[in-house]
Amino acid sequence: MDIKVIDAEDEKIVKEILAGLRQYDYSRVEKDMTPLIISVTEKGKLKAGAQCLVLWDWIHVKLLWVDETYRKTGIGTRIMETIENEAVKRNCFGVHLDTYEFQAPDFYQKLGYVIFGIIEDHPKGMKRYYLSKRLKK
């Protein structure tokens, strides 16, 4: 058996890893995975957006970005409200995500998200937060 370390993206290997993981997962739970993208455009240009995954009765926010000139205008809140509304429509229990200390943990907490995990020194001297908001009992 050979173990290799590769310091670059290798789509072929990643696809095989993902296929193997999904095969295992779907042998134990229902296949239930839907991508969800939220985009905010102005005059045809992307100004903010989120990449999410609806997976087993929860929505995972993988990425959320707001152009710097549009921060503090309410767009981030509107995106999160849209995601939460989608979660309710899709009968999900809630929404979960992660963020770094230098990004937006306070923003999410103001929206009712609760920290359920923290990794110290990620990056060094800072924290990575894991948050969730339950929408359905």
Domains defined for the chain, CATH in brackets: 33-134 (3.40.630.30)
Confidence bin at 99 (pLDDT 50/70/90): very high
pLDDT digits (tens, 9 = 90+) for 42-87: 999 999 999 999 999 999 999 999 999 999 999 999 999 999 999 9
Q: What pLDDT sits at residue 22?
A: 87
Residue position matching structure tokens 């095989």: 16
Cβ distance 115 to 98 under 8 Å? Answer: no
pLDDT digits (tens, 9 = 90+) for 18-43: 999 989 988 898 877 899 999 999 99
Residue 14 has pLDDT above 80, yes or no: yes
Give the integer Cα–Cα distance in Å for 108 and 130. 10
Residue 107 has pLDDT above 90, yes or no: yes
Give the integer Cα–Cα distance in Å for 54 and 87. 8
Q: What pLDDT sits at residue 33?
A: 85
Q: What pLDDT sits at residue 19?
A: 92
Q: Which helix (H) or strand (E) holds 49?
A: strand 45-55
Please tell me whether the overall predicted TM-score, pTM, comes out greater than 0.85 for this model. yes
| Partners of 133 in the β-ladder | 95
Q: Which helix (H) or strand (E) holds 16?
A: helix 11-26
Give the integer Cα–Cα distance in Å for 51 and 126. 24
